[in-house]
Chain A
């Protein structure tokens, strides 16, 4: 089996029923998607599969042989954050950060498919994503702001930009 992850075509050797989440984290060492509940209930493992957000823990890898997978790593780099990532930094939308990869992926898809800055619609789009720090207000503010682009990174405390993004905690 093969999948393309953030532009790289990779061979998959795990058994076909392995969840995409475990393939990404354990076989391919792509650890942005987080293993939260591993039962579909938290959204921390959401990635894009052929452009659509999917819980990687619910997806058997053999069901998506040949697909294009984009994880949070594929949306921006530490020195080149996407608008949603910048907005998350600016609005302090990450607290412990565990839910952030799933939130960012889902929010990016929401905005790329024409989602508005309406708080209720953002809430609906992120409904499957749980933040156990309960930082929802800031997350929703960040997504709304990313729509409008109405924030300015230069007003973020110096260094804040990188403190959020460094480290490759597994």
Chain B
């Protein structure tokens, strides 16, 4: 590792935003469960590292029906929340990883192109959550799907969603804890009664399943329709062939639970 790396450990959200500035040359370390091994093995050689451990960005705040989750909140702190987020968080990795892995790191999880990652993204997309981030141009609040499409050089501050009327989460099991879940579907019946569905493991980041949503009243038809919304890939944890057969099943199960 480069001795020259400048390491910043801001002790407040404001100090973190100031230290991040416009990003660019700054490597953020949240829990470090992805980034620290990359640094150890020399894959990433940061000039400047921003360690968020003491930045005061953690915490789950529920006021009325609005839930706000700080970027440094651990995944384990979410596991008791209602579906889809709670069971999705409880399904991630193992207890030690969940204690260390953060929400911000999951939203910004990087993997080689084409390899899906970041399990929580699907639950947040289904919930219609919005992400508050800072960076060039100042603060931005936007739907999580927009954030995922344009997340370079942003410092995530928190994620907010409205408690849904109902939620559900279904996933394939992992063969070993060292991989994101091969395929998972999150669903929510939002406060206005509309149904939103999202999949992880079906594209490099989480994706909405609008064709399945349009058929929500018929779970079997919705399952088949979902295949039109995804780009399935082969990787070490599952073949595209297998994903294609399982996605409709997960969609059907989620819709049946949403009732």
Q: Choose among B31, B41, B53, B176 the residue that contacts A58 (Cβ–Cβ < 8 A).
A: B31
Which residues of chain B (91-113) have a CB below 8 Å from chain A? Answer: 93-97, 99-100
Find the residue from A43, A63, A124 having the highest chain B CB count within 10 A: A63
- Chain B residues with CB under 8 Å of A22's CB are 40
The CA-CA distance from A53 to B219 in the complex, in Å, is: 42
Interface membership of chain A positions 40-74, coded 1 if the CB is closer than 8 angstroms to chain B and 0 otherwise:
11010010000011110111101111000000000
Whether the Cβ atoms of A62 and B32 lie closer than 8 Å is no
Once bound together, how far apart are the Cα atoms of A65 and B33, in whole Å? 18
| B interface size (C-beta, 8 A) | 29
Partner of B32, one of A15, A43, A46, A59: A59
**B54's closest neighbor in chain A, by CB?**
A63
Assuming the A-B contacts A17-B46, A19-B40, A59-B100, are A41 and B1 also in contact, with contact meaning beta carbons closer than 8 angstroms in the complex? no
Residues in B whose Cβ lies below 8 Å from that of A52: 99
- Across the interface, A128 reaches (CB within 8 A) one of B37, B40, B96, namely B96
**What A residues does B93 contact at CB under 8 A?**
128
* Residue numbers in B under 8 Å from A57 (CB-CB): 36-37, 40
Task: Please tell me if the beta carbons of A60 and B37 are within 8 angstroms of each other in the complex.
Answer: no
- CB-defined contacts of B49 to chain A, threshold 8 Å: 16-17, 60
Indicate if the CB atoms of A17 and B5 lie closer than 8 Å. yes
A19 to B49, CA, bound (A): 14
Q: Which of the residues A17, A43, A53 comes within 8 Å of B36, measured between beta carbons?
A: A17
Q: Contacting B96 at CB < 8 Å: which of A19, A54, A130? A: A54
Say yes or no for B29: interface residue by CB 8 A criterion.
Answer: yes
In the complex, what residues of B have CB within 8 A of residue A125's CB? 95
Range for the number of chain A residues in contact with chain B: 20 to 34
B18: interface (CB < 8 Å): no
Neighbouring A residues of B178 by C-beta, 8 Å:
37, 39-41
**B2 contacts across to A, CB distance below 8 A:** 15
Instruction: Knowing A15-B1, A54-B96, say if A65 contacts B9 (CB, 8 Å).
Output: yes
A18-B51 contact, Cβ under 8 Å, with A38-B37, A39-B178, A128-B97? no
Residues of B within 8 A of A128 (CB): 93-97, 177
Chain A 123-143 per-residue mask, 1 if CB under 8 angstroms from chain B, else 0: 011011010000000000000
| Chain A residue nearest to B98 in the complex (CB) | A128
- Residues of chain B within 8 A of A130, CB atoms compared: 176
**Is the C-beta of A106 less than 8 angstroms from some C-beta in chain B?**
yes
- Smallest CB–CB gap between A76 and chain B, Å? 21
Query: Does A58 contact B51, Cβ atoms closer than 8 Å?
Result: no
- A58-B32, A58-B100, A125-B95 known; A17-B7 Cβ under 8 A: yes
Residues of A with Cβ closer than 8 Å to B?
15-19, 22, 37-41, 43, 46, 52-55, 57-60, 62-65, 106, 124-125, 127-128, 130
25 contacts between A and B (CB under 8 A): A15-B2, A16-B5, A16-B49, A16-B51, A17-B39, A19-B36, A22-B40, A38-B37, A40-B37, A40-B97, A43-B94, A55-B33, A57-B36, A58-B33, A62-B7, A62-B51, A63-B9, A63-B29, A63-B51, A125-B95, A127-B94, A127-B95, A127-B177, A128-B94, A128-B95
Residues of B bordering A, CB below 8 Å: 1-3, 5, 7, 9, 29, 31-33, 36-37, 39-41, 46, 49, 51, 53, 93-97, 99-100, 176-178
